[in-house]
Amino acid sequence: MAETLRVCALYPDLMNIYADRGNLLLLQRRCAWRGIGFELTASGLGEPLDGDGADLFYIGGGQDRDQRLCAFDLAEVKREGLHAAAERGAAVLAVCGGYQLLGRSYELGDETLPGVGLVDLHTVRSDAPRLIGNIAIEVNLGERAGGVRVLAGFENHGGRTHLGPAAQPLGRVLKGHGNNGEDGFEGIRQRNVIGTYMHGPLLPKNAWLADWLIATALGRDAPLPPLDDAFEAAAHVEARRAAGA
Protein backbone atom coordinates (compact mmCIF):
# COMPACT_ATOMS: atom_id res chain seq x y z
CA MET A 1 0.00 0.00 0.00
CA ALA A 2 2.10 2.88 -1.26
CA GLU A 3 -0.71 5.34 -0.85
CA THR A 4 -0.02 8.73 0.75
CA LEU A 5 -2.42 11.19 2.36
CA ARG A 6 -1.34 14.70 1.42
CA VAL A 7 -2.53 17.30 3.92
CA CYS A 8 -2.16 21.04 3.50
CA ALA A 9 -2.56 23.20 6.63
CA LEU A 10 -3.54 26.77 5.89
CA TYR A 11 -1.82 29.44 8.04
CA PRO A 12 -0.55 26.94 10.65
CA ASP A 13 1.40 29.72 12.43
CA LEU A 14 -1.60 32.02 12.75
CA MET A 15 -4.66 29.82 12.85
CA ASN A 16 -3.86 27.35 15.61
CA ILE A 17 -5.39 28.82 18.75
CA TYR A 18 -7.32 25.82 20.04
CA ALA A 19 -4.67 23.14 19.78
CA ASP A 20 -5.36 22.59 16.10
CA ARG A 21 -2.23 20.50 15.80
CA GLY A 22 -4.10 17.78 17.71
CA ASN A 23 -6.30 17.34 14.63
CA LEU A 24 -3.30 17.05 12.32
CA LEU A 25 -1.58 14.66 14.74
CA LEU A 26 -4.58 12.30 14.66
CA LEU A 27 -4.52 12.21 10.87
CA GLN A 28 -0.78 11.62 10.80
CA ARG A 29 -0.66 8.80 13.37
CA ARG A 30 -3.75 7.01 12.14
CA CYS A 31 -2.30 6.94 8.64
CA ALA A 32 1.08 5.73 9.89
CA TRP A 33 -0.43 2.92 11.96
CA ARG A 34 -2.14 1.65 8.82
CA GLY A 35 0.88 1.92 6.58
CA ILE A 36 -0.55 4.90 4.70
CA GLY A 37 2.01 7.61 3.93
CA PHE A 38 1.47 11.08 5.32
CA GLU A 39 2.72 14.32 3.87
CA LEU A 40 2.07 17.66 5.55
CA THR A 41 2.57 20.97 3.79
CA ALA A 42 1.76 24.49 4.87
CA SER A 43 0.35 27.46 3.00
CA GLY A 44 0.95 30.79 4.67
CA LEU A 45 0.13 34.43 3.99
CA GLY A 46 0.80 35.48 0.42
CA GLU A 47 1.25 31.95 -0.89
CA PRO A 48 -1.17 30.83 -3.62
CA LEU A 49 -2.82 27.49 -3.03
CA ASP A 50 -2.35 24.58 -5.42
CA GLY A 51 -5.74 22.90 -5.48
CA ASP A 52 -4.16 19.67 -6.75
CA GLY A 53 -1.38 19.79 -4.15
CA ALA A 54 -3.22 18.03 -1.35
CA ASP A 55 -6.04 15.58 -0.65
CA LEU A 56 -7.16 17.32 2.54
CA PHE A 57 -7.05 21.02 3.39
CA TYR A 58 -7.16 22.13 7.02
CA ILE A 59 -7.77 25.55 8.51
CA GLY A 60 -8.00 26.16 12.26
CA GLY A 61 -8.96 29.00 14.58
CA GLY A 62 -7.03 32.19 15.36
CA GLN A 63 -6.99 35.40 17.37
CA ASP A 64 -9.04 38.26 15.90
CA ARG A 65 -6.03 40.07 14.47
CA ASP A 66 -4.62 36.97 12.83
CA GLN A 67 -8.02 35.89 11.55
CA ARG A 68 -8.40 39.25 9.84
CA LEU A 69 -5.05 38.87 8.05
CA CYS A 70 -6.03 35.39 6.92
CA ALA A 71 -9.51 36.42 5.77
CA PHE A 72 -8.12 38.83 3.19
CA ASP A 73 -5.40 36.44 2.12
CA LEU A 74 -7.85 33.56 1.77
CA ALA A 75 -10.25 35.63 -0.33
CA GLU A 76 -7.59 37.26 -2.51
CA VAL A 77 -4.72 34.78 -2.80
CA LYS A 78 -6.14 31.32 -2.16
CA ARG A 79 -9.73 31.52 -3.42
CA GLU A 80 -9.10 29.91 -6.78
CA GLY A 81 -7.01 27.04 -5.46
CA LEU A 82 -9.40 26.18 -2.65
CA HIS A 83 -12.45 26.24 -4.95
CA ALA A 84 -10.67 23.99 -7.46
CA ALA A 85 -9.77 21.56 -4.67
CA ALA A 86 -13.33 21.36 -3.36
CA GLU A 87 -14.74 20.92 -6.86
CA ARG A 88 -12.56 17.91 -7.58
CA GLY A 89 -13.65 16.33 -4.27
CA ALA A 90 -10.72 17.05 -1.98
CA ALA A 91 -11.65 17.08 1.71
CA VAL A 92 -11.72 20.41 3.53
CA LEU A 93 -11.96 20.71 7.32
CA ALA A 94 -12.36 24.20 8.74
CA VAL A 95 -12.66 24.72 12.49
CA CYS A 96 -13.86 27.74 14.44
CA GLY A 97 -12.19 30.89 13.03
CA GLY A 98 -11.44 29.00 9.83
CA TYR A 99 -15.07 27.91 9.58
CA GLN A 100 -16.20 31.54 9.81
CA LEU A 101 -14.11 32.35 6.73
CA LEU A 102 -15.55 29.56 4.56
CA GLY A 103 -18.74 31.42 3.72
CA ARG A 104 -19.73 34.77 2.25
CA SER A 105 -18.67 37.20 4.99
CA TYR A 106 -18.01 37.82 8.65
CA GLU A 107 -19.48 41.07 9.98
CA LEU A 108 -17.53 42.54 12.88
CA GLY A 109 -19.44 45.68 13.82
CA ASP A 110 -17.96 48.41 11.62
CA GLU A 111 -15.89 46.05 9.51
CA THR A 112 -16.83 43.11 7.31
CA LEU A 113 -14.27 40.41 6.59
CA PRO A 114 -14.60 38.71 3.22
CA GLY A 115 -15.27 34.98 3.12
CA VAL A 116 -13.78 32.60 0.60
CA GLY A 117 -17.25 31.70 -0.66
CA LEU A 118 -16.88 27.95 -0.63
CA VAL A 119 -20.21 27.42 1.12
CA ASP A 120 -23.40 29.43 1.66
CA LEU A 121 -23.19 30.95 5.13
CA HIS A 122 -22.53 34.27 6.77
CA THR A 123 -21.43 35.14 10.27
CA VAL A 124 -22.15 38.16 12.46
CA ARG A 125 -20.19 39.09 15.58
CA SER A 126 -22.64 39.49 18.44
CA ASP A 127 -22.41 41.84 21.41
CA ALA A 128 -24.10 39.15 23.48
CA PRO A 129 -21.87 36.82 25.51
CA ARG A 130 -19.60 34.42 23.62
CA LEU A 131 -20.97 30.91 23.15
CA ILE A 132 -18.63 28.81 25.27
CA GLY A 133 -18.79 25.27 26.55
CA ASN A 134 -18.76 21.57 25.89
CA ILE A 135 -20.92 20.53 22.97
CA ALA A 136 -22.22 17.32 21.44
CA ILE A 137 -24.00 17.00 18.10
CA GLU A 138 -25.63 14.24 16.11
CA VAL A 139 -24.45 13.80 12.53
CA ASN A 140 -25.01 11.48 9.60
CA LEU A 141 -22.18 11.43 7.10
CA GLY A 142 -23.58 8.37 5.35
CA GLU A 143 -23.17 4.65 5.54
CA ARG A 144 -19.41 4.62 5.17
CA ALA A 145 -19.20 6.72 8.38
CA GLY A 146 -21.52 4.32 10.18
CA GLY A 147 -24.81 6.22 9.80
CA VAL A 148 -25.98 8.39 12.68
CA ARG A 149 -23.10 9.21 15.00
CA VAL A 150 -22.15 11.72 17.68
CA LEU A 151 -19.39 14.32 17.64
CA ALA A 152 -18.27 15.80 20.98
CA GLY A 153 -16.00 18.78 21.59
CA PHE A 154 -15.76 22.33 22.87
CA GLU A 155 -16.97 25.59 21.35
CA ASN A 156 -15.89 29.18 22.07
CA HIS A 157 -17.08 31.79 19.58
CA GLY A 158 -18.42 35.34 19.56
CA GLY A 159 -19.78 35.06 16.00
CA ARG A 160 -23.25 33.77 15.14
CA THR A 161 -23.29 31.78 11.93
CA HIS A 162 -26.36 31.51 9.69
CA LEU A 163 -26.60 29.03 6.82
CA GLY A 164 -28.20 29.85 3.48
CA PRO A 165 -31.52 28.18 2.64
CA ALA A 166 -29.99 25.35 0.59
CA ALA A 167 -27.02 24.69 2.86
CA GLN A 168 -26.84 21.53 4.98
CA PRO A 169 -25.69 21.78 8.58
CA LEU A 170 -23.07 19.30 9.79
CA GLY A 171 -25.36 18.15 12.56
CA ARG A 172 -28.08 18.73 15.11
CA VAL A 173 -27.10 20.07 18.55
CA LEU A 174 -27.68 17.60 21.38
CA LYS A 175 -26.05 19.79 24.05
CA GLY A 176 -24.40 23.16 23.58
CA HIS A 177 -24.96 26.22 21.38
CA GLY A 178 -23.97 25.40 17.81
CA ASN A 179 -23.94 27.84 14.90
CA ASN A 180 -25.88 30.64 16.52
CA GLY A 181 -27.37 29.38 19.76
CA GLU A 182 -30.87 29.56 18.26
CA ASP A 183 -31.67 27.18 15.43
CA GLY A 184 -30.24 24.02 17.00
CA PHE A 185 -27.80 23.27 14.17
CA GLU A 186 -24.04 23.09 14.13
CA GLY A 187 -21.51 23.46 11.36
CA ILE A 188 -21.92 22.96 7.66
CA ARG A 189 -21.37 20.10 5.25
CA GLN A 190 -21.23 20.36 1.51
CA ARG A 191 -20.00 17.18 -0.13
CA ASN A 192 -16.46 16.74 1.27
CA VAL A 193 -16.23 20.21 2.83
CA ILE A 194 -16.86 20.35 6.57
CA GLY A 195 -16.97 23.48 8.68
CA THR A 196 -17.56 23.43 12.43
CA TYR A 197 -17.21 25.43 15.62
CA MET A 198 -16.14 22.28 17.45
CA HIS A 199 -12.57 22.25 18.64
CA GLY A 200 -11.22 20.56 21.71
CA PRO A 201 -9.50 19.46 19.40
CA LEU A 202 -12.21 17.74 17.37
CA LEU A 203 -10.52 14.67 15.86
CA PRO A 204 -8.90 13.17 19.02
CA LYS A 205 -12.32 13.03 20.67
CA ASN A 206 -13.93 11.69 17.52
CA ALA A 207 -11.44 9.34 15.90
CA TRP A 208 -14.16 8.00 13.61
CA LEU A 209 -14.34 11.40 11.90
CA ALA A 210 -10.56 11.37 11.41
CA ASP A 211 -10.91 8.01 9.68
CA TRP A 212 -13.81 9.23 7.55
CA LEU A 213 -11.74 12.23 6.44
CA ILE A 214 -8.74 10.04 5.59
CA ALA A 215 -10.88 7.62 3.58
CA THR A 216 -12.76 10.42 1.85
CA ALA A 217 -9.61 12.36 0.98
CA LEU A 218 -8.05 9.22 -0.47
CA GLY A 219 -11.24 8.47 -2.44
CA ARG A 220 -11.80 5.10 -0.80
CA ASP A 221 -15.19 3.48 -0.81
CA ALA A 222 -14.53 0.95 1.95
CA PRO A 223 -13.88 1.95 5.58
CA LEU A 224 -10.27 1.88 6.80
CA PRO A 225 -9.04 -1.17 8.73
CA PRO A 226 -9.83 -0.78 12.45
CA LEU A 227 -7.21 0.15 15.09
CA ASP A 228 -7.04 -0.45 18.84
CA ASP A 229 -9.09 2.57 19.85
CA ALA A 230 -9.62 1.93 23.58
CA PHE A 231 -8.27 5.34 24.66
CA GLU A 232 -9.98 7.07 21.74
CA ALA A 233 -13.32 5.56 22.72
CA ALA A 234 -12.84 6.48 26.38
CA ALA A 235 -11.91 10.08 25.49
CA HIS A 236 -15.03 10.32 23.33
CA VAL A 237 -17.19 9.10 26.20
CA GLU A 238 -15.56 11.63 28.56
CA ALA A 239 -16.17 14.48 26.14
CA ARG A 240 -19.81 13.48 25.70
CA ARG A 241 -20.21 13.24 29.46
CA ALA A 242 -18.68 16.72 29.85
CA ALA A 243 -21.29 18.02 27.40
CA GLY A 244 -24.05 16.17 29.24
CA ALA A 245 -24.96 14.00 26.24
Partner 1 sequence: MTGLGPKIAAARAVGTVARVAGRGGGTSLPGKVLMRLEPHAIRDLARRLPQGSIAISATNGKTTSAAMVAAVLERRGTRLVHNRAGANMAGGIASTLLGAARGSGIAGELGLFEIDEFWLGQLTDELEPQALLLGNLFRDQLDRYGELETIADRWAEIVAARGERTQLVLNADDPLIADLGRTQPRVTYFGVEDDTMAMPEMQHASDSKHCRRCGHAYAYDAVYMGHLGRYRCPNCGQRRPQPDVVAEHVELLGTRGARFQLRVTGGPQAGTATVELPLPGLYNVYNALGAAALCLALGVPLAEVVAGLEHVAAAFGRAETIDLGDRSLSILLIKNPAGANEVLRTVALESGEIDLLAVLNDNIADGRDVSWVWDADFEILAGRVRRVTCAGTRAAELALRLKYAGVDAARIAVVPDLRAALDVARDDGDGTLYAMPTYTALLALRDLLSSRGLAPEYWR
Does position 245 interact with partner 1 (CB under 8 A)? The reply is no
**What backbone torsions phi and psi does residue 31 show, to the nearest 5 degrees?**
-70, -50
Does position 242 interact with partner 1 (CB under 8 A)? The reply is yes
Query: Count of CB atoms within 10 A of residue 210's CB?
Result: 24
**7 bridge partner residues:** 40, 56
Positions 62 through 101 that interact with partner 1 (CB under 8 A):
63-66, 69
**Least distance from C-beta 25 to partner 1, angstroms?**
5
Look at residue 125 and give its three-state secondary structure: strand
199 is catalytic: yes
Region binding partner 1 by CB under 8 A among candidate stretches 61-69, 73-81, 121-129, 213-221:
61-69
76-85 as b/e: b if 16+ CB within 10 A: ebbbebbeeb
Binding partner 1 (rule: CB under 8 A), the pick from 78, 122, 189, 199 is 199
- Alpha helix (H) ranges present in the chain? 21-32, 64-73, 79-87, 97-100, 202-205, 207-217, 230-243
Identify the CA nearest to 157 among candidates 116, 115, 186. Answer: 186
Does position 58 interact with partner 1 (CB under 8 A)? The reply is no
Region binding partner 1 by CB under 8 A among candidate stretches 2-10, 19-27, 83-91, 119-127:
19-27
x/- letters, 215..234, toward partner 1 (CB under 8 A): -------------x--xx-x
x/- letters, 118..147, toward partner 1 (CB under 8 A): --------------xxx-------------
Residues of the chain by 3-state class (helix, strand, coil), percent to 5: 30, 30, 40
Positions 178 through 197 that interact with partner 1 (CB under 8 A):
none
Binding site for partner 1 (CB under 8 A): 13, 17-19, 21-22, 25-26, 29, 63-66, 69, 132-134, 154, 156, 199-201, 204-205, 228, 231-232, 234-235, 237-239, 242
